[in-house]
Amino acid sequence: MARNWLSYAGYMAAAQLLAACSGDPARNTVADSVVQDQNATAPNATAPMAERKLVLAFGDSLYAGYGVAQNESFPRQLEKALQARGEAVEVRNAGVSGETTQGGLQRLAFTLDGLPRKPDLVLLGLGGNDMLRGLDPAQSEKNLREMLDMLKARQVPVLLTGMLAAPNMGAEYAARFNAIYPALAKEYGLPLYPFFLEGVIGNPDYMQADSIHPNPAGVDIVAGKIAPLVAGALRAESAPDGG
């Protein structure tokens, strides 16, 4: 998987992406994301909320839908993929472009408190921007651990979606960064999708011109790959013994 990163347009492109996606976090508030997501038409929009599982997609631009229409974003495509599997589910988009693990930690409680009820599952996908900025993997891991501790305290199940370091970051950095997600998944007993861009990165048919964000076809592939894990996690939590 890691070798696919070599097809990136170089680390300068990643730096340009970071500048383009960051901006003022206030422009990409969670409230805005959720309102946009609610306004999109979903096949199960008429089903009573009480009959639907609530999934919160909490991440960065890969979740938020950078460069694609809101109804083509990962949360929306994931919801469609789950519904196609017969799942009654609503996926809320709480992705913010340019978000780091530190920013995620600062807004997680606010996001959870703003939901109509406790989510049945949180998809946590942060760390990519930490890597692009060259932030210390130890700090990224600490921030992710604090988020997981918060979710555990609230008794909210989590599915982690991981990221891999670009080769430009060097072997030592990559070894430290790439170990974060498997280690946390093992420590907390969480399901893990190891690399969010698996199956699309490096293929121009599935990537936007920046070679970093998937286009609608790529998002559809990612959502299709992750949907079975989400369905399994939801069913495990709804089992009488909790799994």
Domain 2-238 has CATH 3.40.50.1110: yes
Catalytic residues: 61, 210, 213
Q: What Å distances lie between residue 195 and 185, 192, 226, CA to CA?
A: 13, 9, 10
pLDDT of residue 28: 39
| Burial zone of 226 (CB within 10 Å; 0-12 exposed, 13-18 middle, 19+ buried) | buried
Long-range CB contact pairs, 173-177, < 8 A, 24+: 173/134, 173/137, 174/2, 176/137, 176/138, 177/127, 177/131, 177/137, 177/140
Task: Judge whether 36 and 71 are in contact, CB under 8 Å.
Answer: no
pLDDT of residue 70: 93
Residue 50 has φ and ψ, to the nearest 5°, of -65, -20
Residue type at position 223: A
Task: Judge whether 57 and 121 are in contact, CB under 8 Å.
Answer: no
Side by side, the strands of the sheet bearing 158-161 are 89-95, 53-59, 121-125, 158-161, 192-193
Rounded to two decimals, the pTM is 0.83
pLDDT of residue 237: 78
pLDDT of residue 11: 39
pLDDT of residue 47: 56
Round to whole Å and give the CA distance between 218 and 72.
Answer: 10
Round to whole Å and give the CA distance between 53 and 31.
Answer: 20
pLDDT of residue 241: 62
pLDDT of residue 238: 72
pLDDT in tens, the chain (243 residues): 434 444 444 433 444 444 344 443 333 334 344 433 443 444 454 455 568 999 999 999 999 999 999 999 999 999 999 999 999 999 999 999 999 999 999 999 999 999 999 999 999 999 999 999 999 999 999 999 999 999 999 999 999 999 999 999 999 999 999 999 999 999 999 999 999 999 999 999 999 999 999 999 999 999 999 999 999 999 987 776 654
The two three-digit tokens of residue 222, written as one number: 């990612």
pLDDT of residue 51: 81
